[in-house]
Amino acid sequence: MPAGMAEAARDARLHEWKEVARVNGMETAQFSALVVVGLLVFFYGGTFLISTRIGKKEENADGYMTAGNNIGFGISAASMTATWIWASSMYASATSGYTYGISGPIHYGLWGALMILFIYPFGKRIRAVAPKAHTLAEVMYVRHGRSSQLMLAGSNIVGSLISLMSNFIAGGVLISLLSPFTFTQGVFAVAAGVLLYTLWSGFRASVLTDFVQVVAMLGAVAVIIPVIFFAADFPAAFESGAGHLTAQQGDFFSSTAFMEQGAPYIAAVLAYAIGNQTIAQRLFAVKENLIKPTFITATVGYGAMVIGVGMLGVLALYLGHEPAGGDLNNIIPGMAAEYLPPVLLALFFVMIVGALSSTADSDLAALSSIMMADVYGQNVAGKGKADPKTMLLVGRITMVVATAAAVAFASLQLNILDLLVFVGALWGALVFPVLASFYWDKVTGRAFTTSVLAALAVFLPVRFSWIPVDGFFGIVVDVLAVAGVGVVLGLMVFGFLGARAAKIAGAVAVVATAPFAVGSLHEYATLCGSLVAYSVSTVICWAMSVRQSEGFDFAVIARRTGDFDSGPTAAADTDGTDPQDTGHGPDSRTGSGTVTVAK
C-alpha cells in the first residue's frame, strides 16, 4: 500500500476510536462517548459476572467479611498488591516526580513498598493472638473496651471514606479528560460500577476481582510506560529538557524531596499499614502460614509498578508538560492522551479504572465489615445475639451509603497527595497504642484512649499551623518530632529483631537526628505533624501503662473473637465476658490467668 494511502487509512482508524480536542492549548486524544461506555461496560460488566459466579444463595456474614480466613497465596498476594496500588498511588507518584524530580517516585514507591514488607511480622503476631477476628477494632474491644474499639473503627471510617473519595476523583478526572463526559458524570460511572459488583459478594468479590485486575495492571504497565517514553523521544528528552528543572529537582539526593515527600511518607505509610482496615482485612483472610510470602510478593509488585508509573511525572517535568487546568492529577491522563496510540490508550484507560476500582471495592468491604462487626455485631446486638442476616443487610446498606457520601465529597476535587499524607499522619497517633496492645500485657484502655486523643490534639495544630511554631514552641515541636523519628525507626526494627534492637535503633536515630533537626524541623509542617503524633501517643501510652501491676492474658482475645455465623457457641457470653475469665485491673475486659508477653 502506498505511503499516502496507509497514512490515510491510519487516520481513518484513529478517528473511529477518538476525537481530537484542545485542552489549555495542548492537543489531547479523547475517546468518543460510545467507546468510553463500551470500555466501562466491558470492565465492570466482566467484574460483575465474576462476582456472581462466587455468590451464594444463602450468604454467610463471616464469608462476606473475611472469606473464611482461608484465602490462598495467589489470590491473597494479588489482592494485597491491588489494594495498595490504587489510582491515587499512580497519580500521587507522578505528582511527586513532577514536583520533586527523579527522586520523587523513588521516595513514594520505595518507602510504600517497604511498608508492605514491614507489615508481615506484626501481621503474624496479630493473627496468632486473634486468628478469627474480622477487624482490628474488634480485637481492641476485647483488649480494652468500647472506647478504643470505636476510636479505631471511627478513624478507619474516615480514612476509608477519604480513600474512596480520592479514587472516585481519579476516575472522574480520567473520564473527563479522555471523553466528552464531565468530571461529575465520570465519578458517578465509576461509583456505580464498583458498587455493582462489590455489593453482591462483599470481600470475596473484592479479592477475586483484585486478582484479575492486578494481572491486567502489571501487564499494561509493562507495555504502556516504555511506549510513552519512546514516543516522547527518550532519552533525548532528558538531555534537552534539563533546563526545566531546578537544582533540587535535578538532584537524585534532593534534601527537599526527602523532607517534603520521602520522610512524611515513611511515617504515613507505616501508619497506613497498621491502622488501615483494608490491610487488616486481608491479613485476617489469608491462610496464616501464607502471611510472609503474600506480603513479600506484594512488596515487589507495588514497588515496581508505582515507581514505573511515577516516572511519567518525571518525564512530564523534563518535557515542560503543563497539566490540563494546572491540576497535577491530570499529569498521567494527559501524558497518555498525548503519546499513546488508540489501542494502548484504551488499555491505559482500563488499567487506571482497574487500579482505582481494586482499592475502592476494598474500602467498601472494609467499611461494611466495620459496621457489621464493630457497630452492629458488638455494640448494637451483642456478640452472642447478632443475627447474621441482619449483619449482611447492615453491610450492604453501608456500601450504598458510603458510595453516596464519597461521590458527594469527590465534587470538592481535593489534592490526592495531600489527602494520603494527611490520613497517614492521622493514623500515626494510633500506631504505637495498637501495636503495644498486641505485644505488651500492661497497656490499659485508659492509656490507649488518652494517648491517642492527646496525640491528635498536638497533631492538628502543628499540621495546619494553627499556632505559630517559632521560638520556644518551635523547639518543643522539634524535640517531639525527633522523638517521633526514634519511634518510627524503632517500630520498624522491632517487628523483625525484637524489643532490644528496637530500643537501640530508636536511641541512635534520636541522637543522630537531634543536632540537625532541633531548630529547623518545625518548618516542615507535614513531616512534623506526623512525627509528633507518633511521639506523643508513644510517650503517654508508655507512661500510663508501665506501672501497672497486673497483666492481660492474650489468650482471652482468641476466645472472645470469632465467627458470627456459628452462633452463641462460638462467642463469649452476651454481655461480653467469658465465663472462664474474671475481670481485674483498670480494664473491665482484662482476663486473669496466665500472662502472655510476646518476645
For residue range 3-34, what is the model confidence (pLDDT) as tens digits? Answer: 444 444 444 433 443 343 333 334 445 688 89
Question: 288: which DSSP letter?
Answer: G
Give the dihedral sign, CA 245/250/256/257.
positive
Could you tell me the three cell numbers for 187?
465519578
Say yes or no to pLDDT of 145 above 50.
yes
In whole angstroms, what is the distance from residue 2 CA to residue 486 CA? 69
Buried b (16+ CB within 10 A) or exposed e, 436-459: bbbbbbbbbbbbbbbbbebbbebb
User: Which phi and psi angles does 557 have, rounded to 5°?
Assistant: -60, -45
Return the DSSP state at 565. T
191-221 confidence digits (pLDDT tens):
999 998 888 777 777 777 777 777 777 777 7
Cα angle 468-430-403, degrees, rounded to a multiple of 5: 95
Helix (H, G, I), strand (E, B) or coil at 18: strand
pLDDT winner (highest mean) among 157-166, 332-341, 461-470, 508-517: 508-517
* 246 or 64, which is more confident: 246
Task: For residue 511, give every residue at least 6 positions away whose Cβ sits within 8 Å of its Cβ, in sequence order, or none.
Answer: none
pLDDT > 50? residue 538: yes
Residue 587 has pLDDT above 50, yes or no: no
What does each C-alpha distance from 530 to 103, 147, 450, 478, 510 come to in angstroms?
Answer: 21, 23, 18, 12, 16
To 10 degrees, the CA torsion angle through 221, 223, 227, 228?
Answer: -10
Q: How many angstroms separate the CA atoms of 434 and 155, rounded?
A: 13
CA angle 534, 539, 541 (to 5 degrees): 95
* Cis peptide bond N-terminal to 579, omega within 30: no
What SS3 string covers 120-136?
A: HHHHHHHHHHCCCCCCH
Cell of 538: 508513644
CA torsion, ordered 368, 371, 374, 378, to nearest 10 deg? -120
| Of 116-130, 250-264, 394-408, 494-508, minimum mean pLDDT range | 250-264
Contacts of 415 (CB under 8 A, 6+ apart): 328, 329
Peptide bond into 515 cis (omega under 30): no
- Select from 235, 251, 134, 199 the least CA-distant residue to 563: 134
Please provide residue 422's backbone torsions phi and psi, each rounded to the nearest 5 degrees: -65, -50
Cell of 422: 494527611
Number of Cβ within a 10 Å radius of residue 573? 13
- Residues in CB range of 359: below 8 A, 6 or more apart: 82, 83, 85, 86, 87, 88, 163, 167, 278
Q: Which residue, 135, 177, 183, 128, is CA-closest to 155?
A: 135
- Indicate whether 507 pLDDT > 90: yes
Selected residue with higher pLDDT from 274 and 436 = 436
- Estimate to the nearest angstrom the gap between the alpha carbon of 24 and the chain centroid: 33
β-strand partners of 346: none
Q: Which residues contact 489 (CB under 8 A, 6 or more apart)?
A: 505, 506, 509
Q: Residue 418: its pLDDT value, please?
A: 65
Q: Is pLDDT above 50 for 70? A: yes
Buried b (16+ CB within 10 A) or exposed e, 37-51: eebbeebbeebbebb
User: What is the average pLDDT across 445-473?
Assistant: 85
One-letter-per-residue 3-state SS of 579-592:
CCCCECCCCCCCEC
Please name the helix (run of DSSP H) or strand (run of DSSP E) that holds residue 73, with its range, or none: helix 73-84
Q: What is the mean pLDDT of residues 573-578?
A: 37
Lowest-confidence region among 463-472, 528-537, 581-590: 581-590
Distance of alpha carbon 136 from the chain centroid: 15
* Rounded mean pLDDT, 569-573: 38
181-195: average pLDDT: 91
Least Cα distance to 308 among 376, 221, 178 occurs for 221
**Cα Rg for the chain, rounded, in angstroms?**
25
* 3-class secondary-structure state, position 411: coil
Average pLDDT over residues 339-359: 85
Distance, CA of 441 to CA of 447 (rounded, Å): 12
Identify the sign of the CA torsion 375, 380, 381, 383.
Answer: positive
- Dihedral (C-alpha) 109, 115, 116, 118: value to the nearest 10 degrees? 150
CA 177 vs. chain centroid, Å, equals: 25
Q: What's the number of CA atoms in the CB half-sphere (13 Å) around residue 226?
A: 5
Q: What is the mean pLDDT of residues 502-510?
A: 94
> What does the alpha-carbon distance between residue 260 and residue 254 come to, in Å, rounded to a whole number?
10
What's the start-to-end Cα distance of the chain, in Å? Answer: 74
Task: Quote the CA–CA distance of 450 and 540 in Å, as a whole number.
Answer: 8
- pLDDT average, residue stretch 470-484: 87
Confidence at residue 384, expressed as pLDDT on a 0 to 100 scale? 67
Question: How is residue 76 written as a grid cell?
Answer: 491473597
